[in-house]
Amino acid sequence: MKINIFYSFTNQPWGGGNQFLKALKKELIRQGVYEEDPKKAEAVLFNSHHNLESCVDLKQEFPEKIIIYRVDGPISLLRSAGRGVDKIIKLFSKSLVDGIIFQSKWSKEQNKNLFDVGAKYETLIYNATDNSIFNMQERAEFNPNRKIRLISTSWSPNWRKGFGVYEFLDKNIDFSKYEMIFVGNAPLKFKNIKYISPLSSEDLATILKQQDIYITASQNDPCSNSLIEAASCGLPMIALEDGGHPELVGKGGELFHNPEEIMDKIKKILENYNNYQNQIPVFSMQEAAQNYYRFAEKIWEDAQNKKYKPRRVTPYARANFYKMKIITSKKAASMARVIRDKLWVH
């Protein structure tokens, strides 16, 4: 069995989904289980709300093809206008999806509780990074006798990515004892924090390996790729106790509720730095890719053995997508009409 990732990849510095899927594709190719042509693959992975109309075309042409859905969000907890997209994700999962991969326990619970997202086959697989890039090799040794190096990263400039907290740190950190870098896109200008524009994965990894502690304040983040990149480079983490952060940090860092707590969390890590560093969770792309493949293979084998019949473009599916007409978001409604029209072909 071979698997395809139906996604419009970019090689430019981009969001976490793009970075994860690029690394996943690279590893699936290395393992010899990837098919570049989605029409030739037995299973096709679709991501979040991207290219869903293409899935309809694919299912109509190849009804036996297994559709795996990597679910994000809920999007409405990340973006103010995302509720319409979440409704599309729900209807899509209920209509054409054979299996769903959730990125964290938090994301699974929120998607189910808020939007009843689900499928016959479900699993949870945490994200990972390209471990040939994000790793502990050539990492700078921790030296408590110099300025402590803090870093935050975010490709998205959305304020919910934690910029209120970073603004607080910019005004309140003692920069005679600490230095801080922010890498990515920011909606504000920092006075004391050093700002660096988005970097390639290789350049970002080089900078991460020179830092001491990673800080993230992103809200409702299901499975932060940025956090996993930092962890993979050996940085103890300080994260807002929200979204999937607690699952990712484990004993490799500290959680906070208010920005005023962060300095105490930093001091706590510095008092026992090696212990925190030694307990950073491992996020293996090799293992993640194997889990993605095995999940798809299980569904495909059940279909081959007549234990499961892959979803079809049925009248039920057409009716489900017809409901998208009520979605109020203009962007989501436009997407819904495209998918609905494709499903309404008799």
Model confidence over 98-108: pLDDT tens digits?
Answer: 999 999 999 99
Q: Mean pLDDT, to the nearest integer, of 194-212?
A: 96
Q: Quick check: 145 pLDDT over 60? A: yes
Q: Give the per-residue pLDDT at 56.
A: 80
Instruction: Return the structure tokens found at 260.
Output: 């005023």
Look at the domain 148-278 and name its fold.
Answer: Rossmann fold (3.40.50)
Q: Which residue has the tokens 């930093």?
A: 266
Query: pTM of the full predicted structure?
Result: 0.88
Task: Summarize pLDDT for 41-77 with one digit per residue, the tens.
Answer: 999 999 877 667 777 888 888 999 999 999 988 877 8
| Selected residue with higher pLDDT from 333 and 83 | 83
Q: Give the per-residue pLDDT at 146.
A: 95
In angstroms, the CA 55 to CA 40 distance is: 14
Locate the domains of the chain by residue range.
3-128+285-343, 148-278
- Judged on CB neighbours under 10 Å (0-12, 13-18, 19+), 287 is middle
In angstroms, the CA 139 to CA 90 distance is: 43
Q: What confidence category does residue 315 fall into, taking pLDDT thresholds of 50, 70 and 90?
A: low
Q: Give the per-residue pLDDT at 320.
A: 58
Share of the chain above pLDDT 70, in %: 88
Average pLDDT, the chain: 89
Q: What confidence category does residue 85 fall into, taking pLDDT thresholds of 50, 70 and 90?
A: confident
Query: What one-character DSSP code corresponds to residue 36?
Result: S
In angstroms, the CA 338 to CA 44 distance is: 20
In angstroms, the CA 83 to CA 66 distance is: 27
Contact 56/50 with Cβ under 8 angstroms? no
Contact 117/89 with Cβ under 8 angstroms? yes
Instruction: Return the structure tokens found at 204.
Output: 């970002």
In angstroms, the CA 208 to CA 136 distance is: 10
Q: Please enumerate in sequence order all residues whose Cβ is within 8 A of that of 119, keeping only pairs 6 or more positions apart, or say none.
A: 69, 93, 94, 97, 98, 99, 100
Query: What one-character DSSP code corresponds to residue 81?
Result: T
Q: Give the per-residue pLDDT at 82.
A: 60
Q: What confidence category does residue 14 fall into, taking pLDDT thresholds of 50, 70 and 90?
A: low
Contact 180/207 with Cβ under 8 angstroms? no
Backbone angles phi, psi at 314, to 5 degrees: -100, 170
Name the residue among 160, 153, 288 with its Cα closest to residue 221. 160
| Selected residue with higher pLDDT from 339 and 86 | 86
Task: Summarize pLDDT for 154-198 with one digit per residue, the tens.
Answer: 999 999 999 999 999 999 999 999 999 999 999 999 999 999 999
In angstroms, the CA 252 to CA 273 distance is: 10
Q: Tell me how far the alpha carbon of residue 165 is from its chain's centroid.
A: 21
Does domain 3-128+285-343 match CATH 3.40.50?
yes
Cβ neighbour number for residue 156 with a 10 Å cutoff:
19
Q: Mean pLDDT, to the nearest integer, of 237-248?
A: 97
